[in-house]
Structure formats: structure tokens, C-alpha cells
Structure 1
């Protein structure tokens, strides 16, 4: 089966796929996709074909975050994997969705990545994600990843700030800097932003030289703070699509090609799909987008 999708020169990690945290990870799209065949994904460039073939083989519940995929596919780094996932969303193979889960006085957001071996257009995805979707029921008992935070354990906001230096060396922060900025970053997460959205907002469009990372990050956290929106009735299935690029959530009909308006606009010149020409024409329009970073 592997020979149908993988080039011998593109080996995956021997560790195999990683399981996602409960409530996260890969989910197969609603029924109707074609059976596996050797010609799957042949219309995509090599990198996207390789990543798509690997994802297609993953079982439901496997980790689909960029870091886990990059570790399982060592040929490509995290930036390349992120670009490939964005391109696969535009090509119609995947969508990311978020669901709010309430229980025992707490609330958390879980992220699924819906995958379709058959490329689908925006209308199909909107209908599929707006109607009843096969989402596994949430357990009432506490999940292992979400116990009370032990004293001294870093928060998600702190970890996002601490990881900035790995994503962008110009924004390397000290432990004191992270502690100082943690309340601002936590406010982002409390307003529904994902850590990926937070990181993207802080690292995008940096000046060539950053002499004071603490001040720059503080300014961006303050100036780009997302609005606080009251909880609104969501779709019947409790799902909202999440931008594959920046993580911003929204209704399925508003995130065409799996991208929010600003991210779609930033890639418009290199990935202008011909919707009248169908999926094949749209994939052809991805050639410029799918460059290896």
C-alpha cells in the first residue's frame, strides 16, 4: 500500500504516527469519498503529494498539528508542513474545525482536522460541516490532558510565548519576559484565539532587526488583541471552521478554501483558484503557493 503513495526517497519517521490528545486530531470527512487508488494525489506537487499520502494513511485520532507531522516526516520542517497543509486545504482535501466543550465548570476548545481523500469544493465542505457531522461524543469524566494544572506548571499562554524564539529567533524571550507578558497572551486565548493564531500574529512582518523583543511583543499583544465577542449560537453540530493558516475561527461559508479573509487575500496573487473550472483547475492554480519555503 505504501508504494502507491510514497517515493522511496521520501521515508517517514520510523516512530510512526502520533496519537492526538483526546478530542483532537484527524477525523475522516463524511462518507462519499473514493476508495484508495495508486493515482491518488498525482495532480499535486511532490511535497504536497507526499504529505497528503501520509495523512491519508493516518487513523482517525492521529495527531495533525504541524509539530507532530514535521516530526513524523523529517524530510520537511514545520514551515514546509504548514505550507503544505494550507495548500491541501485550498485544493479541497482538508478543513480544520473547532468545538467548544463544557463540563464540570470548565470550558475548553478542541480542534479536529477533517480529511477527504477526494478533493472537494467549498460548497461541499460548507454543506458537510454545517450539517450533522460524525463527531465522537465527549466523555463526561475528565480527560488525561485536562486535569487541574499542578502548581508551577506553565500555562498555554506562557508556553506560546516561550516557544516564540524557536519559531522566530528575533523574538527570543527570557523567562522573566514570558512571565511579564503571560497575562496579555492569556487574554488572547480567553477570547478564542488559538496558540497558532497568537504565534502567527506576533511573528508576521517583523522588521529586519529586533533590538527589544519584549517591547515589540508587548506592543503587538496589545495592538492586535482580538475583540471580545459574546458567545453566539453556533451551528447545530457545534463546530466552527478554523483558518488553516492563522487559526482564526468562523462559519464554514466565510472560510473559503479553509482560509479566513486576510490569509486568503495574502495568498491571492499566488493561489487564485478558478472556481468555475472545478477542483482540477484550482489545483493547477496552487503551483505558485506550493513552493518549499
Structure 2
């Protein structure tokens, strides 16, 4: 995916509230992340992926900063929608004055997502902080914190097995919006002069001092629009980023027959079937 002809100029940001929005946190870009795309699509996808959130990734701006024209960029963006990397839509946000307003969004995922995933994301069932990552680090943030505990407090040195067993408890603290400094304070404040079982002490403190869960966050209200017509689907879900109408699938009831035709068909149903006359030879005449 050579992109040596891409513009070196700083890529502009979109207006506040607009631009690229990553749906999940992912690790560094790898060489095979977009191997399923054509070379042109993969080059644009890699370029968009490197851009920070809120970058302007409209057709005109991408055409200025890539070696492709607006028509080619339009085709590429539609292909990225079909592949599951990109979605356009609206999201309801709360303004500083407390009022709600609809803002245009462009959601990006390095990982190709299927239609059901995007549908769940629009309903707020896959918040970004819980979205799965394709490449998880071999050692979690909780494990690293526990492993480093003994450097500052030798009496709390933990083994690999201890760190592995205690890491889920620390992850629960992180899930409750607690920072590393608070976790370290809970584990090390007021330690006795001698600690005979540091793992048992750590488990007890992580369990007894677990902070309360924060109040649930309101689910976002999102509407993903059709990549073809730019409108929310009138019926059913999007398939490949397209609504049923743009896929040529009928969405309404079958067209009604004219009244005269309905009366004619009804009269035909009421008319007795005519029994054919038979010739003397016994065959129908």
C-alpha cells in the first residue's frame, strides 16, 4: 500500500463535533490490516487510520491530500463501508446549555465489522471503551501495575502467578474509573513492617476497598445512514451499509389493484365453472 504520493501537508481537522470518530482503541497498524482491500482502497484506509480523531475525512479533503480525485475517493469510501470499516450517520449530543442537538458523525474502525456489529454500536450496546481489540497486549495494564509493586515496596513483591491471579481485581478498579495512583495507594498505604503474605494482603485490600461503581452513562443515540442515498433506513437494517431501497428490495406493501380489476376478479370467482360438452365419441367437444 505505497502512499509516497500522498500530500505531506498537515491534514486539517473538521469543525467541532464533526470529523473522524474511532469506535474502538486498537494497537499499532500492522501490514495486513487492510490486506482484504484493493491496493487503492488499502492505501486510503491506512491513511485515514493514521489520522487523529476529528480529522476532516470528507471526499473533497481526502481528494486534496491523496493522489486520487473526488470520484475515485467516493468509490473508495463506499468500498470501505461495504468492507465494514466506515459508517456515516447522526448522533444526539448534549450542548453546553443542556439542550440536545444532532451532529453529523463519520465512524471509523480499523477492524472490519459486520452489519450486526454496527447495528449494535448504533444502539449503544458496544461502547468504545468496551469494544474488543484484535491484538491485546501480552501483559495487561493491571498485570504491569502489580508486577512493578515490589520495586517501590519490596515487602509487596508478587510472583508471576500472583500478578496473574490478582489482575482481574485491579481491572475491576479500572472499570470503576479508578486511576493507577488510587490503586497503588490502596495497596501500599499503612503497610505493616513485615508482610508475610503480600498476595493475600493485596487481595484483601483490593476486595475490601473496592470503590462503588459509577452511575451508568446514558446510552448514545445514533442513526447510521445509507452509504448510497445518505438517508436513515425506512425499514429494516442496513446491509453492506445500504438500505433496502438502494439494494432494490421492496420495502412497502404490494401496489393496490384498480377497483375495476378487483371487481372483475371477484365476479370470475363467483361464476360456476363451465362443464365442457362431450361428443358422442366421449371426447370433449
With normalisation by structure 2, the TM-score equals 0.49
Q: Flag the structure with larger Rg.
A: 2
With normalisation by structure 1, the TM-score equals 0.48
Higher RCO (C-alpha 8 Å, min separation 6):
1
